[in-house]
Amino acid sequence: MKYFPWKFIIIATAVVLPIFFFIKENPFDTTSFLSLEEKKMIAWQRAWIQTNPGRTNHLEIFKDTQKNSEPLKNVNPRILIGDPPMKKKLLTIGISSVQHPQGSYLLDTLKFLFFASSPSEQKHFIVLVHLADPDPKWLNQMISSISSLFEPYIKARQLVVINTPLKSYLSLKNLKKKLNDTPADVAFHSKQNMDYAFLMNFATNHSDYFLMIEDDVKCAPGFVTQIATILSAWEDKPWVILEFSQLNFTGKLFRTRDLPRFVHFLLLFYQEMPCDYLLSHFLDLLQKKSIQFFPSLFHHMDDYSSFEGKLNSLKDKELEENDTGSPSNPAASIYTNLQVTSDSVPMNAYSLDKNFFYTKGAEAGNHLTVVLDIPAKVFRVQVLTGSDLKEENQLKEGQVELGYESTYGSNDCDNYTLLGLLVNGSLNKQVFSEKSGKKVKCVRLLVTATHPSGIAIRHINVWIK
């Protein structure tokens, strides 16, 4: 589907939104004096007069709209299961789900979310599920299944399930026909936009950040820690959405204070295009370029997309395009302050054979650092610790850092940046150093907590261009 004519229209919306919020009547109250379409037309005409692309500051307009937002007065979601947390969390993970012809993956998705997170990680997030299908039989079945399977998380206020009555929805009749779209497709995406909008509207007060995922995904172990690590690095940087997956609406992270703007955006253009297209235009207004992190933390379970409501061949681009082959491991020197035994040498950790480096223990601050002979454009790093058969001799608390060319020409690096934390003793991440023009010189495995037992560092693998 192509929606190029809407590119210009959406840009003008940066001016439409602030004006639209000043209309005295609730803009989504179709019983007020003016119809929704009439209100849109008035706002559009005012925006047309005032629009000046040459001096439009998208971020400033975005901040202004935050000050002038109004709640969705006619939306009354019902809590079906659980209670919101007593204290604000770091993260709300939002899922909107309806019944599908191919069956539901929602229960499996919930299992992945909780089972891929440690008890300490679970304390920092809440899962919010919007059961958005009006079929009472399906609703009762899902309520029963979720209540029995996830009782501990419900009691701990880590799982809340809501439903929005149909009377809160805008009209799904006489929707605008799109080229190559069937009426069923238009109705599906129009309702889906509202499903997501009502979910996000409910989520605005329960955490600092909101993560949107679909109801048919599996997640990487320790995904909460990886997201928290990136948030700490991006806390003071300007951004609207961070992306942890390339799949449609999955893995998109917002600040919750920004959610009302996107909620209004979804409802204003709910019948124009699917929400992933609206998200793209929203980003064009406020962020211009997407900010993506690799590897993806979320993947579809199979070829069936609940987002599209049908079978398709959609795959994560990362899985399709990043067949990186064998590691390069270019010539390098290895430096460490870990205890070295007579029968194990540090270079074994960097070799491409089955040898490994073993140390009897480690303290916080210990490191093993690979210093490349020639700085290179590194695009992937993999670190594996512990036995490849059992979860033994893993480095439980550690992180991987990248160092760049020293300004003083020394053998070490004078500027390290965090690549990621070890999860279950390993890390596997893509690097985009070539985008900044910097070449990586050092890859450092840093111990962040005392480890009294033995550690096996099997591989530090590096891929270069």
Across the range 279-300, mean pLDDT stands at 84
Residue 266, helix vs strand vs coil: helix
Q: Which of 195-199, 215-219, 338-342, 439-443 has the lowest mean pLDDT?
A: 338-342
Distance of CA 279 to the CA centre of its chain: 13
The pLDDT value recorded for residue 331 is 92
Residue 395 sits at the vertex; the CA angle it makes with 389 and 400, to the nearest 5 degrees, is: 115
The DSSP bridge pattern shows strands 378-385 and 125-131 to be unpaired
- pLDDT digits 0-9 by tens, 105-146: 899 999 999 988 888 889 999 999 999 999 999 999 999 999
pLDDT at 164 over 70: yes
Q: Which of 56-60, 96-100, 145-149, 331-335 has the lowest mean pLDDT?
A: 56-60
The whole model's pTM is what? 0.60
Whole-number pLDDT of residue 305? 53
pLDDT for 403-423, tens place per residue?
887 666 566 787 788 888 888
Q: Would you say 399 and 420 are in contact if contact means Cβ atoms under 8 Å apart?
A: yes
pLDDT at 316 over 50: no
Q: Is the pLDDT of residue 36 over 60?
A: no
> Hey, which of 39-43, 116-120, 434-438 has the most confident mean pLDDT?
116-120
Query: According to the model, what pLDDT value does residue 72 have?
Result: 67
* Residue 414 confidence (pLDDT): 74
Mapping DSSP onto H, E and C, the string for the chain reads CCCCHHHHHHHHHHHHHHHHHCCCCCCCCCCCCCCHHHHHHHHHHHHHHHCCHHHCCHHHHHHHHHHCCCCCCCCCCEEEECCCCCCCEEEEEEEEECCCCCCCCHHHHHHHHHHCCCHHHHCCEEEEEEECCCCHHHHHHHHHHHHHHCHHHHHCCCEEEEECCHHHCCCCCCCCCCCCCCHHHHHHHHHHHHHHHHHHHHHHHCEEEEEEECCCEEECCCHHHHHHHHHHHHCCCCCCEEECCCCCCCCEEEEHHHHHHHHHHHHHCCCCCCHHHHHHHHHHHHCCCCCECCCCCEEECCCEECCCCEECCCCCHHHHHCCCCCCCCCCEEEEECCCCCCCCCHHHHCCCCCCCEEECCECCCCEEEEEEEEEECEEEEEEEECCCCCCCCCCCCEEEEEEECCCCCCCCCCCEEEEEECECCEEEEECCHHHHCCCEEEEEEEECCCECCCEEEEEEEEEEC
Does residue 313 surpass a pLDDT of 60?
no
Top pLDDT among 69 and 450 is at: 450
Predicted confidence at residue 66, as pLDDT, reads 44
Q: What is the pLDDT of residues 63-115, one digit of tens each?
A: 454 444 444 667 889 999 999 999 999 999 999 999 988 778 899 999 999 98
440 with 352: CB under 8 angstroms?
no
Share of residues in the chain with pLDDT > 90 (%): 42
The average confidence (pLDDT) of the chain is: 79
Distance CA 389, CA 140 (A): 43
Report whether the peptide linkage leading into residue 101 is cis, meaning its omega lies within 30 degrees of zero.
Answer: no
Q: Which amino acid is at 436?
A: S
Q: Domains in the chain, start-ordered, CATH in brackets?
A: 78-301 (3.90.550.10), 332-464 (2.60.120.260)
Asked if residue 335 lies in contact with residue 403, where contact means CB atoms within 8 angstroms, the answer is no
Q: Taking Cα atoms as reference points, which of 411, 417, 330 lies closest to residue 378?
A: 330
Task: Check whether 436 has a pLDDT greater than 60.
Answer: no
- Going through 238-305 in order, the beta strands assigned E by DSSP cover 241-243, 252-255, 298-300, 304-305
Separation between Cα atoms, residue 102 and residue 113, nearest integer Å: 22
Residue with tokens 């004096």: 33
Q: Quickly list DSSP for 102-150.
A: T---HHHHHHHHHHTS-HHHHTTEEEEEEE----HHHHHHHHHHHHHHS
End-to-end CA distance of the chain: 35
Dist. CA 358–CA 445, nearest whole Å: 14
Using an 8 Å Cβ cutoff, are 262 and 200 in contact? yes
pLDDT in tens, 336-386: 999 987 778 999 999 988 889 999 989 999 999 999 999 999 988 999 998
Per-residue pLDDT, 65: 46
pLDDT for res 237: 87
Question: Does position 177 have pLDDT exceeding 90, yes or no?
Answer: no
Please check the confidence at residue 182 and state whether its pLDDT lies above 90: no
